[in-house]
Structure 1
Amino acid sequence: MTHAGDILDAAREKGLRIATAESCTGGMVAVALTDVPGSSDVFERGFVTYTNTAKTEMLGVRESTLAAVGAVSEDVAREMALGALVNSDADVAVSITGIAGPGGSEFKPEGRVCFGLATREGCTTETIEFGAPGRDKVREAARNHALSLLLDAICAK
């Protein structure tokens, strides 16, 4: 697992600020970062946008995107990450939207999580199928993956 302190140290060294936009993880990435003393100099803010209404109101996710592809999609992950940048003073933002379980559907199975990683230069997205090991394990895996995305993006700057 990527250690949150490494992310914060790298961001501090490069003068970067971080924002998070989380749905299925309910703020777990923000908690991991803010559990580290002194994180306030680089962690700018976190958005927990569990409902579609929260995604549109807080992050500017378009209702048309939600209607067309649903909340668990790379399109929504992209809009969440970009919205976190627009609505903060951060330089890098990670987003997470997925189905932690239990449940899912034939088209969007339990364990599918979409991620967005936005910087001022652009945004990338990806989907990971964590399978159905249980809600807690999917959420932990999603948190850990988001932390590694942040570290990679910050180190690449």
Structure 2
Amino acid sequence: SSVVVKPSTVALCRQVLESGASVTEDVVLEALRGVTFPHNTSRRSVMPEGQRYIEAFCLGLVGSRWAQLSEDTQAAPELCRLLCAFLKGAHGPPGGDTFPFTSIQLNKAYASKRHVDANNMGYSMIIGLGDYEGGLLDVDGVGQLDVRRQ
């Protein structure tokens, strides 16, 4: 099933985008709290042992043979635009350059199995929002990094 976004969250996304205001972490978190994450059964490489699904979805381009917009992007275009504005704003790389990306993977409330991302090209970015414990990212050769609001 696809992501479901509350009408009040769609309105919030539109209001923030139309105002031209900076998209902050607090705005993103408020928007994400108005989203019902679908139960994803296909991401077995990250699914914790004993779980049948995780709450996760991808916005942007997906596909293995050819790229296409994800169904969730089509179901939640305002949320996608808000998250793109957020990533292009406050979380761009130093020096004012833009961070090129094609997809945004959203995960909720699970501790991923140890894995190596596959099919990524270029750099990846991660940020943790909300109330949770732990959440450290183990980067090979670097160690554990705290991704909370980073």
TM-score (norm 1): 0.27
Question: Per residue, is there more helix in 1 or in 2?
Answer: 1
Q: TM-score if structure 2 supplies the norm length?
A: 0.28
- Greater Rg over alpha carbons, structure: 2
